[in-house]
Chain A
């Protein structure tokens, strides 16, 4: 089993890359992928989203709300350590006190131990989500599984979010969505933040599954498509992040799955895509 990952991330129009509040991180060797979407009306949410995505890759959290609450303590401390509290003016101090908020979507693809010469057994995957960043499992043109948002109409502007304020997380973690399943070579996982997820789901609902089209797209084509969707107001003009993970087969003759885009396939994901 071989995992190939392609990443794409772009800020909302008019904003610079460094203002993109989405973050992602992956580790191909360990089959780990994470996407986090920082809430733009909070403080240092980009930093929080990055911290959460990195923490997931470092040590994926347990799927139990209480244990997850404990797991959050380390990233919260890390976020706090990144704030220069002493030099904050009054508005910064108050906004920082109110905390940062972000979604977190994580995927673990568990590589089975395979004896050489034997057929590859099914590969297990496990995903967790708080908020509205979505995972799609696709086989060919068919959407096999998706989470945590069921239908495109369910996207709203107040998703559950993980906060740097632990007292808010108890409630958000009630919305923890945790799902597992099986995948096989040729399957594709897409991890996307809300604006793109809503569009993808809408396409699926309108019997225009976008999956095959997406699989063939490189970074530049994705950028063009997004610009087109934004100008036609078919998609909300928000930061957009997409990770595409292809389950391939080991071996010199493995030809399934498109080739990785430049820069992907590294052991550790870049924090952010170039524009």
Chain B
């Protein structure tokens, strides 16, 4: 059965983000003035890397276990690795190395349960790996091609692993051609456990309810959304279950695609889409 390989240190999986860094990312999220899409998205990606590092931590002696190789590719004025600090130019690296090398660590205040029915404010460390960038066009085809050349050798080295999950986050149409072809080529990569999973998040520029995990392109309002839907992989069973568990009404043919996502949906999508069936 595909998508059933447990993720282990001997057989890690891979999570690769493709992040739209085009000029239009300076716009605010639909109906949500203030911060730009680029800034809110950077926040969401940092948060996911934070949660992923914690998810892979099980005890004090070993620290973060290398259950994943992780990468972030940006596409805008250039296409390439987008993590900051000492990880600049690193395309794909073990999650342990990500956790140990944030570009900087900020301190944030948060309210937590004091154990006696009240709330108490405390300071927590919040690492930052990825800063917002928004410049030039949307070379999505190039980004998908670069992802493929990055993952081909990874697949050869990990033939039995749970296949890589690629999450593409964009606010619009590709400016360098039809991305369906390179997306198809990327999705045809596989391990013995199944084809690579490509999920797409279409960020909103207008207010309106998001369309989540659709199972048909018919519900989508425009050509670009339909394009992104076609590019998206059907959800494997354990992610389908996770989405149901989070209260989404998903059909059996649901794809890893969200149209008109607001930041809350982005964060939930990243969490659900990277859920592991089993971390061994």
A-side residues, CB < 8 A to B, are 12, 14-15, 40-47, 83-84, 87-96, 98, 165-167, 237
Is the pair A91, B99 in contact by a Cβ cutoff of 8 Å? Answer: yes
Is the pair A91, B279 in contact by a Cβ cutoff of 8 Å? Answer: no
Is the pair A41, B55 in contact by a Cβ cutoff of 8 Å? Answer: yes
* Tally of B interface residues using CB under 8 Å: 22
**Which stretch, B58-66, B73-81, B169-177, touches the partner chain A?**
B58-66
**A residues near B6, Cβ cutoff 8 Å:** 14, 237
**A residues near B26, Cβ cutoff 8 Å:** none
**B residues near A43, Cβ cutoff 8 Å:** 57-60
**B residues near A98, Cβ cutoff 8 Å:** 54
Pick the contact of A44: B10, B59, B100 (CB < 8 A): B59
**B residues near A46, Cβ cutoff 8 Å:** 59
Is the pair A165, B115 in contact by a Cβ cutoff of 8 Å? Answer: yes
Is the pair A83, B99 in contact by a Cβ cutoff of 8 Å? Answer: no
**B residues near A96, Cβ cutoff 8 Å:** 60
Asked if B105 is at the interface (CB within 8 A of a chain A CB), the reply is: yes
Asked if B109 is at the interface (CB within 8 A of a chain A CB), the reply is: no
**B residues near A88, Cβ cutoff 8 Å:** 60
**Which residues between 253 and 280 of chain B lie within 8 Å of chain A, taking CB atoms?**
279-280
Is the pair A14, B280 in contact by a Cβ cutoff of 8 Å? Answer: yes
Ordered nearest first, which 4 A-B pairs have the shortest CB separation?
A90-B125, A95-B57, A91-B53, A91-B57
Is the pair B58, A91 in contact by a Cβ cutoff of 8 Å? Answer: no
Q: How far is the CA of A14 from the CA of B57 in the complex (A)?
A: 18
Is the pair B57, A84 in contact by a Cβ cutoff of 8 Å? Answer: no
**B residues near A93, Cβ cutoff 8 Å:** 125
Asked if B124 is at the interface (CB within 8 A of a chain A CB), the reply is: yes
Query: With contacts A95-B57, A167-B113 known, is A90 near B279, CB below 8 A?
Result: no
Pick the contact of A92: B10, B60, B105, B124 (CB < 8 A): B60
